[in-house]
Homo-oligomer: A and B are copies of this chain.
Amino acid sequence: MTAPQTQGISILLVDDHPVVRQGYRRVLEHQDDFHVVAEADNAADAYRAFKAHAPAVVVMDVLMPGASGLEAVRNIRSRSSSTRILVFSMHSEATQVKAAFNAGANGYVTKGSAPGELIRAIRAILRGEQAISDDIARVLALESLSPTGSALDQLGEREIEILRQLAAGATTEQIAANLNLSMKTVQNYHYLIKTKTGMRTDAQLVRLAVECGLASL
């Protein structure tokens, strides 16, 4: 079940854009000891390819249609704790990065990074380190300086779930039905979420939810 080490480092490459995969494949195979053994363009195929090839490293874009890439990261991590998973993404928000590491990623590199950073990150996670690209490091560093963590830290589980559904477009009535609550309770949560987060309009709440990775689109 562990990856073969005899002929270099086996890599599974996951991205939904063929051209982007070509770019990464080229960058990766420029390293003599790297070998892309499989590609996938969605989360389900990624998991299948992982089981079939048991690669030493999974390089994955978390932004894919259908099932979330983070879902795939979680699945892979639950199956193998030794596989190194490097996430690359368009996003450099701290919440996105944390979500990736929570899901089991070993590294996080933005798509804007230079090719060399990707290589360095892979070598780092192969040594057992955690790797992030320079721009991510800057974002996280700045965030750690600010007294306010993620806006979600101040919210309870129930509040987060209601914020998620609000951002998804659900009405108060639908949320109440979904969670078996009275509309009154949902209204109170709605208000509480706004005051706690300092958002004044529902539109701002949606943007917050998206920033925090609670909602997409």
Contact = CB atoms under 8 A, between A and B. Distances in A.
Interface string A88-130: 0010000000000000000000011111001000000000000
Interface stretch (A2-10, A79-87, A149-157, A203-211): A203-211
Contacts of A24: 19, 23
Nearest to A199: B169
Given A24-B23, A210-B217, A217-B211, A203 B18 contact: no
* Copies of this chain in the oligomer: 2
Contact of A20 (B19, B203, B211): B19
A148 interface: no
Which secondary structure dominates chain A's binding surface? helix
Interface residues of A, number: 36
Nearest to A112: B17
Contacts of A217: 207, 210-211
Contacts of A112: 16-18
A169 B111 contact: no
A167 B205 CA distance: 10
Contacts of A206: 202-203, 206-207
A201 B171 contact: yes
A22 B201 contact: no
Interface in A48-92: 90
A41 to B, nearest CB: 8
Interface of A: 16-24, 26-27, 90, 111-115, 118, 166-171, 199-207, 210-211, 217
23 contacts: A16-B112, A17-B90, A17-B112, A18-B114, A19-B23, A19-B24, A19-B27, A20-B111, A22-B27, A23-B23, A26-B26, A166-B203, A167-B203, A168-B203, A169-B199, A169-B201, A169-B204, A201-B202, A202-B202, A202-B203, A203-B206, A206-B207, A207-B217
